[in-house]
Structure 1
Amino acid sequence: MTDTARRMFGLLEPICLVTFHADETNEELAALGHRTYWDGYFASRAAPLGRVPAEVVHAAFYSFADGEVARHIPSAWETIPPEASLAARQRGSAASVRRILGDRMAESAGLVRAADLTTKAATSAPTEGRVMYAGMRTLPVPSEPVARLWHSATMLREHRGDGHIAVLVGARIGGTEAHVLSALEMGVHPPESFGRIHHLPKERLAAVMNGLRERGLVDADGRFTDAGRETKQRIEALTDDLAAPPFEALSPTELDELITELEPITARLVAAGSK
């Protein structure tokens, strides 16, 4: 099922990315009173966990540098209930998907079937050790098909993310280190210029790079060593393995049907840049 998990990630990820790249979600969150993109991001994504401290959100999200979460949590919840931010995120995301797909595709029987099968997979995996996924599982599944497709795709994204974090912890790769390895895999050089980390203090980035050099994962020029490339490949392969259980709930026929129905939906979203 490893290949299946990788294939499904490619098909479902563009459905989730509208949340971060399209305008509707940010507009919904701004209308609530969130002052910045990141206030809305942390308040709405962390909302399924409840009113937990910044330290818990930092641990669950994993990839943010020390102190970044605390700039937004819990202050983003002080005047706006987490439930309101969560609802705004869902409304905006579904509106983005609907706009990009157009009424004909958004209201098609194929999308309804894709939503049903995605939901079956997303509600079938064990929650143990999956903090973000477990939080999403406590939420009601929307009845409207486009919202249901986005919600269930996002559940699967959080399930995969929880597994990915477990693999990174096992490999002793921290959140910033993980961004460096991803940047190198994408051909970004120097990796410190990667958009997710370029804003961090230079001394922090230098310490991360030095640590990776000491472990033999990057060379003096800040590029992959063979060991570094192998480590990244091993992390991604194990992440795929851990992301497979939800799809075991689908029969081979259902899985083929889901792939067939998702392909044109994903193609439309990718063509639009998910925005």
Structure 2
Amino acid sequence: MPHTQVKVHRVFELVEPIATITFSEAVNEEFLALGMRNYWDGYFAGRAAPLGMAPAEVVHAVFYNFADGEVARHIPWVWGKLTPEEAIAVRERASAAALRQQIGELADSPALVRIADLATRAAVSAPTDGRALYAGLRALDVPEEPVARLWHAATLLREHRGDGHNAVLVAHGIGGTEAHVLLALSLGIKAAEFGRIHHLPKARLDAVVDGLRGRGLVDAAGGFTDAGRELKERIEARTDELAAPPYDVLTADELDELVAGLEPIAAAVSRN
């Protein structure tokens, strides 16, 4: 059944910290132990593994928001150290262990089993059309252990939304680096100070901002114009609309139960 966009967005807010524990230092250490040279080797190995040994150009297209050349510094080098199957296994194992540590006694509660089941039911129900990374994750076995199953479901839901978000960005003519600039501005941060893009050469980042300024989205001071803010809000609203299908299998009461159950888990992760 259809649910309100407010509720759909709330689920996104709650699954995000659960899914992104996979980008934590604890998981990074597991990848470093397998021969990765740095954090980004492990990031790309783990996140791209459901795509198989796809070349850098394909990973770049699917991930969308990395600057040209960033993916190629890691793909395919990482596949000379481990296989995609090994990367999937270590990512799941390390992410579940990190999540269990973060949420403490909640990990062994009957409530978590129920929430993992609800999240998984939603996460495996959406169409895969046009969603390459989500489809790759859907092809993997769902873990049986409840904490790992919850992390896996959260990751599916996150990447399902992410695939849709990329489609919305493309439809609005917003490139990957431009998307980071808009995100930075929505957070009240100047583009040159935003962590995901501050490392780019100044001339390159200036050119991106100038391009957005030429479209009337960024003002002379490097902040949002009204049109820029409205575009960012429209992109996010459409992303939420496209992220709704997984939850159609849940009743209103079940979705409320999922939200209520995810809240203490997400809060525990966010505190640590």
After TM superposition, the score normalised by the length of structure 1 is 0.96
How many percent identity over aligned positions?
A: 64
Match of 2:17 in 1: 14
Match of 1:131 in 2: 132
Q: Is structure 2 residue 198 aligned with structure 1 residue 198?
A: yes
Residue by residue over 1:111-168, the C-alpha shift from the partner in whole angstroms, topping out at 9 and shown as x without a partner, is 0001000000000000000011000000000000000000010000000000000000
Q: Distance in 2 between matches of 1:79 and 1:8?
A: 36
Q: Distance in 2 between matches of 1:227 and 1:41?
A: 34
Match of 1:27 in 2: 29
The offset of 1:79, in angstroms, is: 2.5
Query: For the Cα contact (< 8 Å) 2:22–2:91, is it kept in 1?
Result: yes
Match of 1:65 in 2: 67
Match of 2:45 in 1: 43
Query: For the Cα contact (< 8 Å) 1:32–1:85, is it kept in 2?
Result: no
Q: Distance in 2 between matches of 1:64 and 1:36?
A: 17
Q: How many residues align?
A: 269
Letter in 1 for 2:242: L
Match of 1:265 in 2: 265
Runs of 4+ in structure 1 over 4 Å off: none
Letter in 2 for 1:74: P
Query: What SS does the corresponding residue of 1:46 show, helix, strand or coil?
Result: helix
Match of 1:174 in 2: 175
Equivalence map 1:115-154=2 (5 Å): 115-154=116-155
The offset of 1:105, in angstroms, is: 1.0
The offset of 1:204, in angstroms, is: 0.8
Q: Distance in 2 between matches of 1:85 and 1:224?
A: 40
Query: For the Cα contact (< 8 Å) 1:118–1:153, is it kept in 2?
Result: yes
Letter in 1 for 2:217: L
Residue by residue over 1:7-59, the C-alpha shift from the partner in whole angstroms, topping out at 9 and shown as x without a partner, is 101111110121113x3211111111111110111011001001111000000
Q: Distance in 2 between matches of 1:17 and 1:134?
A: 19
Query: For the Cα contact (< 8 Å) 1:43–1:76, is it kept in 2?
Result: yes
More off after superposition, 150-159 vs 262-271: 262-271
Q: Distance in 2 between matches of 1:80 and 1:17?
A: 22
Q: Distance in 2 between matches of 1:4 and 1:240?
A: 10
Query: For the Cα contact (< 8 Å) 2:125–2:246, is it kept in 1?
Result: yes
Match of 2:221 in 1: 221
After TM superposition, the score normalised by the length of structure 2 is 0.97
Match of 2:186 in 1: 185
- Root-mean-square deviation (CA, aligned residues, Å) is 0.8
Query: For the Cα contact (< 8 Å) 2:164–2:239, is it kept in 1?
Result: yes
